[in-house]
Structure 1
Amino acid sequence: MTIESTPELIVSYKKRYEPADDGLRFQELTFEGNFVGQEPLRDGILGDKVQKQRAKSKVLEKVSKEDVLEDQFTLDELNDLNNYLAWNIWDTLVMRATEGVSGMIPRQEYEILAFMHEFYRWPEIMTMMTDEVGAQGILDIGATARREIGTKINSVHDWSLGAVGFGMGRCGLLALEAIGPDDYIEESNTMLKFMQRIEFGKRQDGYILNSQDRYRCQIHEDDFLQTIISQLEELEPDSPKQSKFTRFNAAAELLSFLDHMDCRLGLGDTGPYELPNGNVLILRDLFVNEPIFHWSDVCDDAGLPHAYTMAIEIDPKALGLQEIRVNDISTTFTRPKNYIPGIVGGAVFAREKWDTPMSEVRNIPIDELDAELPKVQDATFKMYRKVSRMCRRDLIWAGQYVYYVDMILPYLRKSGTYDKACNEYQLWEIDQRVSNYYYDIGKRGFAQEVVPHKIFSGKGYLPFGEGADLRKSKGRWL
């Protein structure tokens, strides 16, 4: 079956990359945040434009390597990043708001505990990594993503360093009234600077977030990308082969979520890359076996690799593609919404371990996915059975570890400091304050109502006060 194209919409998505274009609206909601009394912000390209216009510093524009290697941000830069991340979190998550609620795993509870834990604990660990490899070394870690697939140095993990650890962590603690707006400024600076360096090293275009570049994450080096493109197989729309490819993608994606306690840290998209024939390519990493989690033993038993990578070729003419976004949580959105009918090519790769050399990453012919799919399904069934037997408290702390450990794990691995973080910094221990918060988050609808409202409205991301001391930490508990 051949999809009929819609000529009036052909290649209109390319207009989104023209400087004067404001993009499409993917949602009707608006964002106010700290811009009280000003025109509310919209989603997408237009929202990014207005944020840049309102910024007091140049930190949201293209920055230089010299800027990134500076030891810290100014107060205006910190507040501009705080405001931008608040909007970016809203822009990214509101369309996925229902994803934060799971009938099986208490996601909202584990998320807020992890947010706060990250804010307290990550700064000293990030400082340790920087001390070990140097500021340039942090940029180099980000740059490794340019020649790898099946790597967790990706948009969602990089974004989480600042948006989650700093942004949502600080927002949660402010909402709990555990800290004030001018507490932990030095630590906030540490987290945002670490994020900036990783992102700058990965992108190498002066931006740090996909939303700053009209939702593009075109990070792979051309010669490396060609090795992927050369292995694409043609997929006739509605053919058994296309169905086999999309079915495997769906099954592996489900397991990647479940192995990460029902969150999207197991998924990472990059792109869109324009191919010589005019089609676009999305590269999707699906992490179906993360060995640091004890529950991943069922994935080991099934013989699954650390990650599958799906190379997905989409025909924009067949869809009448108007806009495509690869947002900062590594997720592809398109208009029209359903791009599956436009998939006309694909390839599947497996990376056995997180550090398997690229020369040893294996291609799995699409016709051989029939042998691979049962392994994914078997692990998924056993994972559901395992998770369903865990009590609520175990599920909450397991999810907390997924956020708190997995979000910083790729950089610990690449810097060679994971063991040091475990042994000398007690990475897997839970800070006593956060342990006590376990009992607070269930009161007065804090996890289900207060925090989501503060996070999604942007009202919880209070600015640092005028004249605040950049050196200030938490000086007293009163």
Structure 2
Amino acid sequence: MTSIQPSRAEYLKRYEPDDEGLRFQPLTYQGNFKDLEPVPDGILGDRMMRARMKTKVMEKVSREDVLKDEFTIDELNDLNNYLAWNIWDVLVMRATEGVSGMIPRQEYEILAFMQQFFRYPEFMRLITDTVGREGVLEIGASARKEIGTKINCVHDWCLGAVAFGMGRCGLLALEVIRPDDYVEESNIILKFMQRVLWGKRQDGYILNSQDRYRCQILDPDLIDRLVQQVVDFEEGSEDHQRFTAFNAAAELLAFFDHYDCRLGLGDTGPYPLPDGRLLLVRDLFVNEEIYHWSDVCEGLPYCYTLAVVIDPERIGLKEIRVNDISTTFTVPKNYIPAITGGAVFVREKWNTPMGEVYPLKLDELGPHMEKIRSATVKMYDKTSRMSRRVLCTNGIYSYYIDMILPHLRAAGLYEEVCRKYDFWEIDQRVSNYYYEITRRNFVQVTVPQKIFSGEGYLPFPDDADLRKSKYAWL
């Protein structure tokens, strides 16, 4: 067994009001602030971005604030600038995931962004009209009492950061819209995102980055229920090996089932435990049956939830972040040796009542591992035989369908939007862009440069009309 000498953990310093956090990477962000110094990642970056705002839209906001009809132009621009930095902040931490040898991820992503920007406003307005503004807050709040739910921070963040931020950025870069187009639709998207996230957090913030990268949303009684099932173990022990191997295998399949993206994974936490350790709660969605390619996952549950207990002293933890795409990063980078306890829970279907979610003993994971590995091999074989166009279409679905699917389900509207609003159809403009995005290195060079630098997130003009849509294609 590998022995690790305990060292003093310093991560609690990151929660002190004046602490600026650590730098997880050396790159900096410029965005729309050409005359100001570049912005780093992390806690300091969040502080600098909020200091540059004209409004208080990214400070703690009240229920009355989020129930207002719309944002002002200044608020829209403050949100646009902050989300552009926030997107950069999460993307640079996982940039190596940007290209797949099998799935044309860059291509399907930009098409999905555009599809979402065009289509989500109608669905979001329908949800709001159906359940009311307070009802949208309650959809977000439902995540506080559940595990194995996709009403989580990555999906809710994507409703705005992806559908508005990257969708609008891509269309501006392709030069098919102007900065003063779709103002009303942008407002609908960002209001919906704000309400869902505010309802989830209940502390006035909407993003984890505003709260020093904490996503401590689960109710205490649910945390207690999870912790009661945790088995303690030592690094290198049989239980440690079982638990970490299961985590890796289930995470790979969840990633693959969602077309090489993180919609199949979701962390919350860190939750401090009485003994000084930290709890992460990790959802791994290994069988999203709504996708036709998930037939290879037959026999697996909808979601495995892992309670991951970390001893910060074992690695001398300096900082821990649960960022806005539900992913945990630490300094030092490898926290696997610090995992000293765990538990596994099963949610069979997306709507299985929480009272029917059950735990698995660590020595019962073997048959589940076999099914996970078999499904992963079958998924690889199935995917390898698909054409590029089919892969792109499936990838669009994995983003466009999945990011708003849990909210439609919660509002009881999924069947209606399929029947009345052609939910699964691709907008004709987006279908045509399939042929445009590979020309002149648009998807390979232009899009990443616009997104990573932040220069593609053009502000709304000061005199833009809040009612403005796009009235002509000229």
TM-score by length of 2: 0.99
Offset, 1:2: 6.5
Partner amino acid, structure 2, of 1:475: Y
1:142, 1:199 within 8 Å by CA — same for their partners in 2? yes
- Tell me the residue number matched to 1:364: 360
Kindly state the Cα deviation for residue 225 of structure 1 after the two structures are TM-superposed: 1.0
Q: Secondary structure at the match of 1:407?
A: helix
Query: For each residue in 1:276-312, what CA deviation from the matched residue of structure 2 results, as whole angstroms up to 9, or x when unmatched?
Result: 1000010000000001100111111xx1000000110
Q: Which of 235, 239, 244 is 2:242 aligned to?
A: 244
Matched residue, 1:156: 154
Provide the C-alpha distance between the structure 2 equivalents of 1:98 and 1:335, rounded to a whole number of angstroms. Answer: 18
- Report the AA paired with residue 202 of structure 2: Q
Partner of 1:315: 311
Q: Are the aligned partners of 2:287 and 2:300 in contact in 1 as well (CA < 8 Å)?
A: yes
Q: 1:33 & 1:155 partners in 2: Cα distance?
A: 24
Structure 1 residue 11: deviation in Å? 3.1
Equivalent position of 2:228 in the other structure: 230
The one-letter amino acid paired with 1:236 is: E
- In 2: Cα distance, 1:235 partner to 1:412 partner: 41
Alignment-mate amino acid for residue 206 of structure 2: I
Q: Give the AA of the match of 2:278.
A: V
How big is the shift at 1:108? Answer: 0.3
Match of 2:102 among 94, 99, 104: 104
Q: Secondary structure at the match of 1:103?
A: coil
Residue number in structure 2 paired with 1:25: 23
Distance 2:412 2:185 in 1: 22
> Counterpart in 1 of 2:426?
430
Structure 2 CA distance, aligned partners of 1:388 and 1:457? 33
Measured after TM superposition, the shift of residue 418 of structure 1 is 0.4
C-alpha distance after superposition, 1:321-348 (max 9, x if no partner): 0000000000000000000000000000
Deviation at 1:96, TM superposition (A): 1.1
Describe how 1:297-308 pairs up with structure 2 within 5 A. Answer: 297-300=295-298, 303-308=299-304
Which residue in 2 is equivalent to 1:473?
469
For residues 114 and 372 of structure 1, what CA distance do their matches in structure 2 show? 33
Q: Would the aligned equivalents of 2:9 and 2:315 in 1 still touch at CA under 8 Å?
A: no
1:91 aligns with 2:99: no
1:198 Cα deviation (Å)?
0.3
Work out which of the residue numbers 114, 117, 123 in structure 2 matches 1:116: 114
CA contact (8 A) 1:122 1:165 kept: yes
User: Is 1:34 the equivalent of 2:32?
Assistant: yes
The reply on whether 1:143 has 2:153 as its aligned counterpart is: no
The answer to whether the 8 A contact 2:255-2:265 is kept is: yes
Correspondence 1:249-264 to 2 at 5 A = 249-264=247-262
2:435 is aligned with 1:439: yes
Is the 1:5–1:320 contact (alpha carbons within 8 Å) kept by the matching residues of 2? Answer: no
Q: Displacement, 1:6?
A: 4.2
Aligned counterparts, 1:48-59, within 5 A: 48-59=46-57
How far 1:235 moved relative to its partner? 1.6
CA contact (8 A) 2:279 2:310 kept: yes
SS in 2 for 1:24: coil
Residues 43 and 212, structure 2, Cα contact 8 Å, conserved in 1: yes
Pick from 197, 200, 222: which aligns with 1:199? 197
Counterpart Cα distance in 2 of 1:470 and 1:359: 45
**Structure 1 unaligned regions, length at least 5:** none
Which residue type is aligned with residue 144 of structure 1? S
Whichever residue aligns with residue 465 of structure 1, its letter is P
Matched residue SS, 2:259: coil
Maintained 8 Å contact 1:253/1:267: yes
Quote the Cα distance in structure 2 between the aligned partners of 1:44 and 1:438.
Answer: 35
Q: Which amino acid aligns with 1:32?
A: Q
Aligned partners of 2:250, 2:2: CA distance in 1, in Å?
A: 27
Distance in 1 (CA, whole Å) between partners of 2:305 and 2:234 is: 20
Which amino acid letter does the alignment assign opposite residue 297 of structure 2? Answer: C
Q: Is the 8 A contact 1:115 1:164 kept in 2?
A: yes
The separation in 2 between residues aligned to 1:246 and 1:449, in whole angstroms, is: 37
The match for 1:400 among 396, 399, 422 is 396
Deviation string, structure 1 residues 211-264 (Cα, Å, up to 9, x no partner):
000000000111111100111001211111101100000000000011011111
Distance, in Å, in 2 between the alignment partners of 1:279 and 1:171 is 41
Q: Which runs of 4+ in 1 moved over 4 A?
A: none
Q: Sort the Cα spacing of 1:274 and 1:3 in 2 relative to 1 into closer, same or farther, 3 A.
A: farther
The 3-state SS of whatever aligns with 2:36 is coil
**Deviation readout 1:95-153 (Å, 9 max, x if unpaired):** 21121100000000000000000000000110001011000000000000000000001
Which of 378, 383, 395 matches 2:374?
378
Q: Which amino acid aligns with 1:323?
A: E
Percent of paired sites with the same residue: 67
- Please point out which of 433, 454, 457 is paired with 1:458: 454
CA distance in 2, matches of 1:194, 1:222: 27
Q: Deviations along 1:148-168, whole A, 9 cap, x unmatched? A: 000001111010000000000
- Match for 1:387 among 362, 383, 387? 383
AA in 1 matched with 2:229: Q
In the aligned structure 1, how far is the partner of 2:129 from the partner of 2:421?
14
TM-score (norm 1): 0.98
Q: Which runs of 5+ in 2 are unaligned?
A: none
Q: Which moved more, 1:60-69 or 1:229-238?
A: 229-238
Given that residues 3 and 318 in structure 1 are in contact (C-alpha distance below 8 angstroms), is that contact kept between their aligned partners in structure 2? no
1:217 is matched by which residue type in structure 2?
C
2:267 corresponds to? 269
SS of residue in 2 equivalent to 1:109:
helix
3-state DSSP class of the match of 1:238? coil
The one-letter code sitting in structure 2 at the alignment partner of 1:78 is L
- Which of 406, 409, 422 is the aligned partner of 1:410? 406
> Which residue does 2:185 correspond to in 1?
187
Quote how far apart the aligned CAs of 1:3 are.
3.8
SS at match of 2:289: coil
Q: Corresponding residue for 2:213? A: 215
RMSD: 0.8
Find the residue that maps to 1:170 and give its secondary structure: helix
CA distances 1:67-116 after superposition (whole Å, capped 9, x unpaired)? 00001001111000000000000000012112110000000000000000
SS in structure 1 of the partner of residue 343 of structure 2: strand
Hey, what's the Cα distance between the residues in 1 that align with 2:173 and 2:271? 41
Following TM superposition, by how much is the alpha carbon of 1:475 offset from its aligned partner in structure 2, in angstroms? 1.8
CA deviations 1:172-217 (Å, max 9, x no partner) are 0000001000100000000000000000000000000000000000
Amino acid at match of 2:386: M
Could you tell me how far apart the structure 2 residues matched to 1:455 and 1:6 are? Answer: 41
Deviation at residue 5 of structure 1 after TM alignment? 3.5
Matched residue count: 474
Aligned equivalents of 2:249, 2:295: Cα separation in 1: 18
Deviation at 1:451, TM superposition (A): 0.4
- The Cα of 1:52 is off from its aligned counterpart by 1.1
